[in-house]
Each structure stands twice: as structure tokens, then as C-alpha cells.
Amino acid sequence: MTAQLPLNISLRDNATFSNYFPGSNLEVVTYLQEHAGLRGEPCIYLWGKCGTGKTHLLQAACHIVASRDLSTAYLPLSGVQEFSHDILEGMADMSLVCIDDIEFIAGQEQWESALFHLYNHMRDKGTGLLIASDSPPASVGIRLPDLVSRLAWGSVFHLQPLDDEEKLQALQLRARMRGMDLPADVARFLLRRCQRDMPALYSLLDQLDHVSLSAQRRLTIPLIRKYVERCR
């Protein structure tokens, strides 16, 4: 069974647990792998800064639940202007609903009420919600007190950013998953000379993969330096 997605939203094929470098977030990854989509599991709430992999983990949970032939849905509220709060009513019977970026509906009464009712419905049925935000439940800006308390009832995890050594290992993992060889010295060069947030580094790695294939050369510091300087 495939995940249900609204409008033109699609899951990334590489958003899997095997392709996520956990760093100090191993407990979170293990918990999601063991509990996401299982009946009786309460709301799971992830929060952390941009670049800690919240979206990746939500989509990975969708992939693994769908692989068990269970129904699941993924909804990024960063695009809230593209759909109505009524969309949540159609997700109430899913085994797992993953809602990303709830800070974007904070203070919007109809959305908060719809999410509150979805939470209660899924809790009564024993199915689950996986929610992500940039802030913990108490400070995300939700005005409906009962919804704030519901979001804090379940498991709340704070995703930690990667340190430099972990970023290096994360880049090497992503490269291996793409069939690339990324030596440690090359990865360190990227960390020194390029944007250091993980989304930007992953995007650059994708670009460098195409450059390497086009040039039929391995990734080396001279090749990367030439590409980076050309793009400035």
C-alpha cells in the first residue's frame, strides 16, 4: 500500500531510515522504527532546528508503514495555503498520519480545531500521529490549550544538530547510498569551503555527483574547487 499524499506532494525515494545519519538522535530513529504506525502508539512529536532531518524522518516513517501494507498520509503544513483544514477529516482512518511544520498553522483557529479533533479521533481508534515542528509543544504558538496539552501527552523528542565530524559521516553515508566514493579529506573540504547546513550540503553532493559522472572523474578536491569557484 502506498502513502496517501495531498495534491502534488510526493515522498522522496531516499527519505528512508537507512539513509539517515542519526548522530546523537539514534534513540529517536530506533523509537520511530519500532513504534511508528503501531496500534496504541500515542502522538509522537519531533522538534528541532532546520536541517536536523525532521522531514526526512516523517517521510521515512511513511515509507516503512506503507511497506507493512498499512495506510499512511504525509502532510507538510508549510504549504498550508494550498489546501483547506478539511483535508484532515480524510486522514482520520489512517494507521499513521505524519504532519510536518505545524508552526505554520499556529494561531489559525480552524486548523487548530481540526488538528485537535483528528488527534482525539485517532487516539480513540488506537492509531497514531507523527508531528514535527521547529519548537516544543508549549512554545510552538498553538493557542488552543487542549491541543497544546494533547501534543505534549505522547513522546516528545528534541532532534539535535550534527557536529562537524557527524556531518562528515553523514555526507559519506549519503554518498555511499548514491554509489559514490567520498574520501574524508574531500568531505572536510566541503565543510570548510561551502555552506554548512545539511540540506545545502546534500544538495551540493547531488550536484557533484552529476559533475563527477559528466567528467568521468572521481570526486577530488581540485575537481570540487573548480566547480565551487565556477558557481560563485
Extents of the domains making up the chain: 17-158, 164-231
State the fold for domain 17-158: Rossmann fold (3.40.50)
Name all contacts of 149-155 with Cβ < 8 Å and 24+ positions apart.
Answer: 150/43, 150/116, 150/119, 150/120, 150/123, 151/43, 151/45, 151/119, 152/45, 153/42, 153/43, 154/42, 154/43, 154/44, 154/45, 154/129, 155/31, 155/35, 155/42, 155/43, 155/44, 155/45
Task: Please determine, for residue 1, whether its predicted confidence score (pLDDT) is greater than 50.
Answer: no
What pLDDT is stored for residue 61 in this prediction? 93
pLDDT (mean) for 89-117: 93
Q: Does domain 164-231 have CATH number 3.40.190.10?
A: no
Query: At 5, is the pLDDT very low, low, confident or very high (cuts 50, 70, 90)?
Result: low
